[in-house]
A and B are shown apart, each in its own frame.
Chain A
Amino acid sequence: MRVLSLAGRRLAASLPTLFLILVGVFLLLQFAPGDTVDAMMAQMGGGDAATARELRQFYGLDLSVPVQLGNYLWRLVRLDLGFSSIYGKPVATVIAERLPATILLMTASLSFAFFAGLVLGVIAARGVNKWPDTIISTLGLVFYATPSFWFGLMAIVVFSIYLQWLPAGGLEDITRIQSGIWRTLDIARHLVLPTLTLGLIFLAIYLRIMRASMLEVLNLDFVRTARAKGLDETRVIVRHVLRNALLPMVTLIGLQAGTMLGGSVVVESVFSLPGLGRLAYESVIQRDLNTLLGIVFVSALLVIVVNFAVDLVYARLDPRIGTGD
């Protein structure tokens, strides 16, 4: 019950933010020259003025900006995300089709970054200023400094073109019909390179944070006490140090869920994945306001959900942090 009430309060608190974001995006896109009918004409390679007028009427673009915004918000209140002019389907359907790829990619990258960062951070902290630390820290710096699109393209050149180990793009092999476990494995194979590409920057951050917080906790009194009690080193690290050092790591997950959605635009383009990031980019280019606002709405919900989960994990890790009264 406490969890539910917390969730409810969290959601209520984020509603004004959500409202401001939606209005902001709506107004920002009004500043871009051209509307969805112009984009449509560009795609068609020409058309006459009468058709354009008719289409503007059809999409409600002949109305004034406040009226359009009002209509949109009123629809949103009734949980109707509207109709996508690029896809000719309800926005909710379009987003539902794209969401799985993005969630798959985000989950895979976050877990990869989190766990690899954790392990590398611990190794680096244990051998601080010795050769493992130097190698890991340097690698981290390189990963952090490499732009992800460049890393993605290089990974394709090495692993797909030269070695021919992994596919260069797409979510699955559509030239063969597969099902069950084989399809899952095929999708996993297709996700390896995108996951690495999106995850490496985050991995670098996690490993730095993990290393620093391990070093900090290692110097605290209770660790000295634990060692003095004669506990073996593995037990000290796992039970006492790691658990406490994990707190800043978990905080980061919440912060980075949003960043990752942004980063996925590039990765989804390079690996031709059908995700939300590319859909967002496409809807800006096509001036498809409904779809864009829908994506903003869903992404905001996603970030809220992730942060809520992070709060719950907090309470598990450190009983002193309550879920509130």
Chain B
Amino acid sequence: MTDHRLELKRRTLLMTTAAMAASVMFPERVFAQAAPRKGGVFSVHYGAEQRQLNPSLQASTGVYIIGGKIQEPLVDLDAKGDPVGVLAERWEATPDGKTITFHLRRNVNWHDGKPFTSADVQFTAMAMWKKILNYGSTLQLFLTAVDTPDAHTAIFRYERPMPLGLLLRALPDLGYISPKHLYETGDIRQNPVNLAPIGTGPFKFVQYERGQHVIADRNPNYWRADAPYLDRIVWRVITDRSAAAAQLEAGQLHYSPFSGITLSDIARLAKDPRFVVSTKGNEGNARTNTLEFNFRRKELSDIRVRRAIAHAINVPFFIDNFLGTFAKLGTGPVPSVSTDFYPADNGPQYPYDKAKAARLLDEAGYKAGAGGTRFSVRLLPAPWGEDISLWSTFVQQALGEVGIRVEVVRNDGAGFLKQVYADHAFDLATGWHQYRNDPAVSTTVWYRSGQPVGAPWTNQWGWTDPEMDRIIDDAATEIDPAKRKALYAQFQQRANSELPIWTPIEQIFVTTISAKARNHSNTPRWGSSSWHDLWLAE
């Protein structure tokens, strides 16, 4: 347990030293704020096309990376990770936590010239966030009404207390506003504006050529004076990761977000002075690699077996040899970058110890049979990334050494979700859990029992624990920030001791960006943010 902590410290220290060395070697990259240059076309790697581009309807980085430049949220995060007003200037909550008032920015217009008002906020919250937006419908479950006493005030009324901190940390992702006047008639899901978004943001939508590119141009009437600097942003659709790396090198692309190219290309471009490769600007997009256990399997419902599996896998070895410097040991569902919630004590950890794993399996009654095999399981890896694929093979070999035979069953995205979350046709599953600034947004549903079958990324493991449910429910409506933090510390400890899901690796997405780009990666969700201050040096 202790050596894990040391490992973490050693890594942090190494990374800090490396950052300091970089600032000495490349001072222009660090002190690049000199004089912003107007103009230029910024080319962005767009790995997977979306069915629509409106971030009030779909919370995903694939949508933010385009829609987040065109539409704006009420609140975003500043460089330190604190909420800062965008379309809302300030806010306050009543002591009972049931009423939260947003004072909106004045003199803001939609790209079609109509003024932005509290009616837009009301409409978006009630018709989009509460009804359609993924995670939004859970977050706003107890929202009963949005009052608009005047054009610049929106009062959110909740049936149960809504922690202000939770709402403000959720709104950067789940708080984008859409124009009411373009959505109030007809089916919202089928509205053509979804593919040609109209917003208040620094860039105006120009064109979407399916399979090729999306283009947005500077909004000359943007409310932030002087912004934006870029003339145009072009998102190029490139599905092949190696092809994207080649286009970066050939100068056709400036930026590949969210670990969009292969691990080997990332390592190679990191040494190339024409690029900056780092995890900075993605702190708000932390994710853990997971190992999920199906409790319907008798063997896996035994805590000794789950602990044995965790002990049997040499995670530091895997990280050092396969993931490099961009990953570190995971310590639980709440990642270490979550400064507001990361607890001082994470509860039990599971360092590599093959003998202990074998002992635990023996204790649980699964002695090695003929050929050294104790039992067999099916492992379903999610197809989201190279690291998951490598990890599943690593797990297969590591568990083989303690007598658990693993069959790896690979699927594409649709097949994986169906088999794990609807059919429960898995023993072990592995994928990513993405953390969204507050555990209540999308983390606790992985642990809360009673989730409807077929809802992806929820507790479908067959694990029920009344104590865990109580902690989760209490924390979701606790309006005292200190008490919330304490409840989530309990959550983390219980998750680690009961181990329904193991979170062995913590990662932050990697950005690969041209060294000519300035003012980039300066907020924790920079890839998703508006890029109003981004500029390109000659």
Write the residues of chain A forming the contact surface with B, with a CB cutoff of 8 angstroms.
32-36, 38-52, 58, 85-88, 94, 97-98, 153, 156-157, 160-161, 164, 167-171, 174-175, 269-272, 274-275, 278-279, 282, 285-287
Q: Are B250 and A167 in contact (CB under 8 A)?
A: yes
- Bound state CA distance, A237 and B51, in angstroms? 57
Of B358-366, B396-404, B407-415, the one with at least 4 CB within 8 A of chain A:
B407-415
Closest to B211 in A: A274
CB-contact partner of A87 in B210, B250, B411, B456, under 8 A: B210
Q: A250: shortest Cβ distance to chain B, in Å?
A: 32
Q: Which 5 A-B pairs have the closest CB atoms?
A: A34-B414, A274-B211, A42-B413, A34-B418, A49-B452
Interface string of B232-262 (1 = CB under 8 A from A): 1010111110110011011110000000000
Q: Are B60 and A45 in contact (CB under 8 A)?
A: yes
Q: Are B210 and A44 in contact (CB under 8 A)?
A: no
Q: Are A38 and B413 in contact (CB under 8 A)?
A: yes
Q: Are B452 and A51 in contact (CB under 8 A)?
A: no
Give every chain A residue within 8 A of B51 (Cβ-Cβ): 40, 43, 85-88
Interface presence of B195 (CB below 8 A): yes
Give every chain B residue within 8 A of A98 (Cβ-Cβ): 210-211
Give every chain A residue within 8 A of B336 (Cβ-Cβ): none
Q: Are A287 and B252 in contact (CB under 8 A)?
A: no
Q: Are B456 and A170 in contact (CB under 8 A)?
A: no
Give every chain A residue within 8 A of B422 (Cβ-Cβ): 38
Interface string of B132-161 (1 = CB under 8 A from A): 101101100000000000000000000000
Q: Are B239 and A46 in contact (CB under 8 A)?
A: no
Q: Are A175 and B234 in contact (CB under 8 A)?
A: yes
CB-contact partner of A41 in B49, B50, B417, under 8 A: B417
Q: Are A272 and B414 in contact (CB under 8 A)?
A: no
Give the B interface residue count (CB, 8 A).
Answer: 61
Count chain A CB atoms within 10 A of each CB in B58, B194, B250, B452 and give the residue with the most.
B250
Q: Are A272 and B137 in contact (CB under 8 A)?
A: no
Give every chain B residue within 8 A of A34 (Cβ-Cβ): 411-419
Q: Are B243 and A44 in contact (CB under 8 A)?
A: no
- Bound state CA distance, A153 and B240, in angstroms? 11
Q: Are A47 and B247 in contact (CB under 8 A)?
A: no
Q: Are A33 and B48 in contact (CB under 8 A)?
A: no
Q: A114: shortest Cβ distance to chain B, in Å?
A: 27
Interface presence of B215 (CB below 8 A): yes
- Bound state CA distance, A153 and B245, in angstroms? 11
Q: Are B415 and A32 in contact (CB under 8 A)?
A: yes
| CB-defined A-B contacts under 8 Å, sample of 22 | A33-B423, A40-B51, A43-B50, A43-B60, A43-B413, A46-B456, A47-B134, A48-B137, A49-B453, A51-B132, A88-B52, A97-B210, A156-B246, A161-B249, A168-B243, A168-B252, A169-B243, A175-B43, A175-B232, A269-B239, A269-B240, A274-B212
Q: A101: shortest Cβ distance to chain B, in Å?
A: 8
